[in-house]
Structure 1
Amino acid sequence: MTAEDPSPPASSLLLAAIRAAGGVAAPRSADLLQEVAQAAQQVGRSALQLRAAGEEKTTLRLAWPTGSAPSIEQLRDQAPPTLAPIPTLVWALCLKAAWPDPTLPHYPGQPFPAELIETAARHLGASARAVATALTRTLPGRDLITPVGPLIHLGPAVATLPGPTVTALRRGHHRLPDPQEHQEPPPSGGTAATIGDQTPHATAPHDLTHPDPPPPHSSDHIVCNTITALETARGPLPPRDLPALQDPDIRADVQSALTGIGRTLIRTPQGTWTTGYPDTVAEALNAADIGTLTPAQRTVLAVILLHTVALPRAQGRHTHAQWDTTQHGVTQRQLGRNRALSKLTISSALRALIAAGLVDTTGQGTYVPGPCLQRLSETRITALWEDLIIAGRPQGHLARAIQQRRQAARPTASPQEHP
């Protein structure tokens, strides 16, 4: 790093890592924890320290304090996707099984066997395959539940639910489907299965944020609300939804607060607003392998971009800026022509890419670039275009020139660094 491009502070990197991975191992430094909590509070978040079920280390996660939850009305069509009907049913059953008494804290709750949920869901008309997918893939993927051995625990994301959401769940607890009502009696002469004491339990979250923060100024509310909308939206938001950003002072305050959590404000070529990682933070996360894609996911994403952007642009059929296109989709059958990847690998990669917002769908079986690609900085966009050039014609003159330039830019390790 140069003097003009300093390394981001440790607290910013930790918060950026939480954004990328959902949670990170909690550092031992009390000072660093306090810096993280203060930076999170500046953007309307609270820092929680907890240990999830099945984990040995305490982790840091971000939660929503009262009054800072995202507004669905403000996000409109860019609101985060909700669960499908069957995963929603399964999640409701899991929540009731783990949290039978609404007068008690909702997290960490108590563990329960998967069979309890499967039986109840079957009685409620859900297919066994859809329920199994929700229990093993959909809900664990969102950290809503954590399977540990034969038992299921509430996931760490439940500890970060906004206060109003928890209040609504507590108020409507009696309306949650009760899996115990559909529990099948044990065989004659047998006894009901009991939950053993050997299953590792989660710990109650500890909020690191100062319990009595100073009264915020009106501009602080505006900054927090703006950042909340930008950070939770699926894609960029139009200026009409964020009028405060027209004020240079508010815009500078938003950028300052984002810098504290390892993020930056981005104006897209279409004039919309979003947030992303600064290049220094992105490089640090990539070096630490935090939030990175697997080789299969990178391959599938590259093929999608080749079919939907690179080839149409080369043929003069795509003139939109960056990835702004829904006109040139690619089907899973076309992706399957890549013999290096199996259909199962492609399907798994697509699910992960869609969940990350890197791929979107315009119809059944048609895939296009996702909204999160617009969170990339100009440097990252250029690098991605170069990657597509290398992937499309690796032996071409331009590809070789790009590879030579990148090789020359890499730092040379001294013999002492690599004995």
Structure 2
Amino acid sequence: MSAVHEQAPGTGSAVESVFREEHGRLLASLVRRFGDLDLAEEVASEAIEAALVHWPAQGVPARPGAWLLTTARRKAVDRLRRDHTYAARLAVLQVEADRAASTPPADAAAALPDERLQLFFTCTHPALPAEARGALMLRCLAGLTTAEVARAYLVPTATMAQRIVRAKKKIREARIPFRTPGADELPERLPGVLQVLYSVFTEGYAASSGPDLQRPDLAEEAIRLARILRRLLPADREVTGLLALMLLVHARRGARTGPDGRPVLLEDQDRSRWDRPLIEEGLALVPAALTGGPPGPYGVQAAIAALHDEAADLATTDWPQIVALYDVLLTLDPSPVVALNRAAAVAMRDGPEASLALLDELADEERLRGYLPYHVARADLLQRLGRPAEAAAAYRQALGLAGNEAEQAHLRHRLSTVELLPPDGTAGTPGAV
């Protein structure tokens, strides 16, 4: 026998697990070999269908990825053989396919080269529309179906299908290369890959619409892809920083919502429900993200998240150090969103009045006018300063921007508590205006 098989119950779920793990690697190898993303997707799907037929009877192969790749290659060669326009190219491809098929089992890892890094950069090429990059990454690297990607972005499946088709057409017509950028290009291209990954994670952290505050499935796919990227680029400190940041933030997911699904503020979270293994994993990555050169934005954000996760409660959090880290982050990313986050930390270090003054300085920033956290932060500070009428107005602005139903319910509750306060901000009787 060329491979050892093991019989196990639940083979269908085993196939799904293997496909999820191997899909990006399989697709990348096929695209690299055949130069056609559509063909690669089709034969990869056919290989999975073949596995669903053979594996229940024969057992899951010891090297399932190599099995899938060999099967997909043969199916691709068969397709190309039937297409005369590929005749000249087929001779070369056939030699390569035969050589791969004859690779000894001991070299199975070499028969399945990890070319996912090239697929990361193809899916996030700057020539592609921004809304298509994350969709392609989830489709090609995470192995989600078009319907699953559509649900992730909360658009109809037909809309997402058209978006993906247009992106593939752009790759083909613009001849976007399937390759890893050279050392001179990597500093310019890698931030785009990281931004797409972080955008996917952010949507999982706080959904832009829908009934729930969080989309853990989406956040976990982003983390899984970040783990892959770090294995491919282990020396890149910003890749490490992004993975650390996502792990440290995702570790709080179990405490971020109450039984009713509403958001639970950091100060009210039951920290015993935080995921300690994820925290430990994230903390172990932070030093590597911050040493060996000037820090990057993701590394600094990971350091901030680490200080939150290490603290026993809000009172013992090292707020001066967090503000200092935001000062560093502002030099790396001088954006109004970073300034807003710094102002929130200043509120904990210096009090709400100092923080509100900083928010007032940001009032003319166009990017913050439609940014929900800005209005929520301002409403909270005004409420703490005993200015309920202004706080209510800010909460109403925030409510008009809230996308998911859980946030809307939370803000309506906060607004109702403010509206019960008299003008001096002290507790009033129920129903008081």
- Global fold match (TM > 0.5): no
Higher helix share: 2
Q: TM-score range by the shorter chain?
A: under 0.3
Q: TM-score, normalised by structure 1?
A: 0.25
- The structure whose RCO (Cα within 8 Å, separation 6+) is larger is 1
Larger Rg: 2
Higher strand share: 1
Q: TM-score, normalised by structure 2?
A: 0.25
